[in-house]
Chains A and B, each alone.
Chain A
Amino acid sequence: MNRRRVSELLQAGVAIGPKNLATNSSNPFIQPISEFDNSDTADEGPLPVSTVKAEWMRKRLEESEQEFVMGEDLIIFSGTWNVDGTEVPENFSEWFEFGSRQTPDIVFIGLQEVDRSTQAYIYESSLKEKYWSDAILAKINTTYPGFNFVKVASKLYVGIYAAVFIRDRLIPVVSHVSTSIAACGLMGLVGNKGAVGIRFRVYAEYICFISSHLAAHVPQVERRNQDAAEIGRRLIFNAAQTDYWEELNMLETLIRSFRANPGPASIWESSHLIWAGDLNYRIPLDSSTVRHLSRLGLYDELLQHDQLNLVRCDESSVWAQFEEAPINFAPTFKYDRGTVEFDSSEKERIPAWCDRILFQRDDQLECLDYSAVMQIKSSDHRPVRALFRAKFNRIIPELFTKTYERQLKALDKLENELIPVTLLQCNEIVLETPLVFRRAQTRSVEILNVGQVICQFRFISTGPPGSPICQPWIRIKPIHDILSPGESRQIKLYFLADVTATQKLNQAGGNKIEDILVIHVEGGRDHFVHVTGTFRPTLFCRPLEEICEETVSTHQKTGEMVRTRRVPKPVWIMVDFIIRNGIKTVSANTGCDFC
């Protein structure tokens, strides 16, 4: 699937991401433990090495991370809004208009009470999900034209909605997308409380967004704390499918596999965690005081009594790990719809900052802006938004390759220590004196086992199987042996031109002799011994035709051509010698030239 096609599909609103988006198939009246499904395990994409080696490589790469990563800042828009079952308002785009702020790279939207009907408690409403997703995407793209935002994932579960959108330039670097839900309280009895999460990978790091709705009413603070704790424990993301949106080459696959952790994962297993929602924490003061101080803009006074701020001071609470930017906006609950007036019904709800965006303490995440959008009045809650700058490590392919190759070399070295390693004391033998018929020369070479395991070596031929391991003028002893670690062997090489070898050498002509001996180490590498030398030619071992000269002369008397054949020179020299010296009676006959 090429990139252009993918972009087209995304623009058309075709959802991308994992094929097995978590679905709620369990009975809503019975508390689901989680959507964690045991049967799927992540396909990390193949590493071209065995599991053990892969593990070793993985750890080394993680340790050397600094060598090949570079931080890249991304702007994240997060929003949360309890829509109270209403429709998309006319001025919806104002939520996204940050004025002169930078264009976000990632947009996260959490909605609560998307669907108030009783059916929402039992069935998922995919229509509502699409309705809101389409509206949000459209508004984002009109607010930030030219950046071609696409939806990464969305999820609606009993009124709690979450969705993530990214600008097109991030498409190639976003992967491992998964969603999850966690329900709190018994469905239909306590209310539609819980959380929806979206987790995905950007470059080499994971980010997790949560849209949640916690228990309502002032006294229910403990309930809310418990809800939050439950979400922290039970919001588990399925193993994400690693169907990438593009074809990946080997290097890209390796890079994507780095710190992959595609799941199953909890919310805590991400580099960045943003938790937004209608958290329902209240100000336990009387309504008129709160309204009064709110209207005056004296938020800090009130926030000192905010239940969430107080709970965050409790070490044991899940919120203790979270931070929040300073609140400089009026409480976002509860308003008369369509107005800027606090709840004027007989219930006279105490204004509260129910709608919050928190983030796990993280020195690579900074909140740039935190505000409420008072102009959007369609619901009894006001939308809240936060703008973040988050650093994501991205892998530089060239540097990754360098480190990867370096580690691979180290792995090779390690592997080498487990295979037979031998050292041959010399690879060149030069016979300084010529090889003479029937006159042996000897050399020896030492082979040493420098590895950790027993090794076996043998001389092998360079030709087809069964052919000799060396030239006929070489004899080797031993031609095979076994060495324990640390043991060595002196291999004797005898160089001897015997009758057969000399016949062959004479036939071959010239006087250069050469051979390459190959020592094969079982499971290890081969050694080579290059032998060079010269052979002293001799008239011995030659065919008579070669060494008997023929002379032609004219017969003194007849004038005929007479062919004279001599006997081989060595023969008449020797015979001559014997005749002259070995025979007691000295004869004048020199014994040469037989006609």
Chain B
Amino acid sequence: MSGADDELAVIQDSLDADEGVLPENLKTEIGILSVGEMLLRFLDCLPQPLIPSGLYEACLEASSDASLASKLISLLPPPSLTLFEYLIAFLGRHYLPRNPGVHPFDVASVFAPCVLKPPASRSADRPRSDIYKAANFLLLFLLNRSH
């Protein structure tokens, strides 16, 4: 996913100006992708990742255990929990069904690095296996469309 820089700026301007709705001229294929990128950016630049980094290790371990994963998510503080469920609902119930060509794992791989991050003290380079596990963790929720 990537959007043109100008469009990203337009989106930023619109959001910062609190216009309430994004400009019409973004209703293009690339425009949609730009919006998608900005959504990712938003999640990525949260001071604390959506899933608190204290839960990072536990989530990786629970990446193949749906019930454990649910339990971990239930530990999220309210604003994070609300947003997490909102995103899952959007991706699982709206986006994926309308885009059958898109594999859920691909969506999970794109979002996982933004919402599930290790604590800052860990080295910057995450091993591939960790990225894989993080994606799988998210996938559990995307496949299970109802909480």
Contact = CB atoms under 8 A, between A and B. Distances in A.
A548 interface: yes
Contact of A591 (B31, B45, B78, B90): B90
Contacts of A544: 46, 48, 50, 79-80, 83
Contacts of A542: 46-47
A385 B31 CA distance: 117
A540 B42 contact: yes
A581 B27 contact: yes
Interface string A532-555: 000011111111110010000000
A594 B87 CA distance: 10
Contacts of A567: 82-83, 86
Given A544-B83, A578-B32, A438 B16 contact: no
Given A439-B9, A581-B27, A570 B95 contact: no
Does more than half of chain B's interface fall in helix, strand or loop, or is it mixed? helix
Interface in A576-590: 576-579, 581-585, 587, 589
A178 to B, nearest CB: 82
Contacts, number: 119
A1 to B, nearest CB: 74
A477 interface: no
B83 A568 contact: yes
A503 B83 CA distance: 19
Interface residue tally of chain A, by bracket? 35 or more
Interface in A410-457: 436-439
Contacts of A584: 98-99
Interface string B1-42: 000000001011101101011100011000110011011011
B35 A574 contact: yes
Interface in B106-144: none
Contact of B16 (A536, A581, A582): A536
Contacts of B87: 571, 575
A541 B47 contact: yes
B89 interface: yes
Given A541-B46, A577-B22, A571 B98 contact: no
Given A544-B80, A567-B86, A571-B42, A583 B16 contact: no
Nearest to B81: A565
Nearest to B84: A567
A570 to B, nearest CB: 5
B22 A573 contact: yes
B143 to A, nearest CB: 19
A573 B16 CA distance: 12
Contact of B90 (A438, A536, A569, A579): A579
A17 B82 CA distance: 99
A495 B98 CA distance: 41
24 contacts: A436-B12, A436-B16, A544-B80, A548-B82, A568-B42, A570-B38, A571-B42, A573-B15, A573-B20, A573-B21, A573-B22, A575-B39, A577-B21, A577-B32, A577-B35, A578-B35, A579-B90, A581-B32, A582-B36, A582-B95, A584-B98, A584-B99, A589-B94, A594-B82
Q: 7 nearest interchain CB pairs? A: A583-B98, A544-B79, A582-B32, A548-B79, A499-B45, A541-B45, A565-B82
Interface of B: 9, 11-13, 15-16, 18, 20-22, 26-27, 31-32, 35-36, 38-39, 41-42, 44-48, 50, 77-80, 82-83, 85-87, 89-90, 94-95, 98-99
Interface of A: 436-439, 499, 502-503, 536-545, 548, 565-579, 581-585, 587, 589, 591, 594
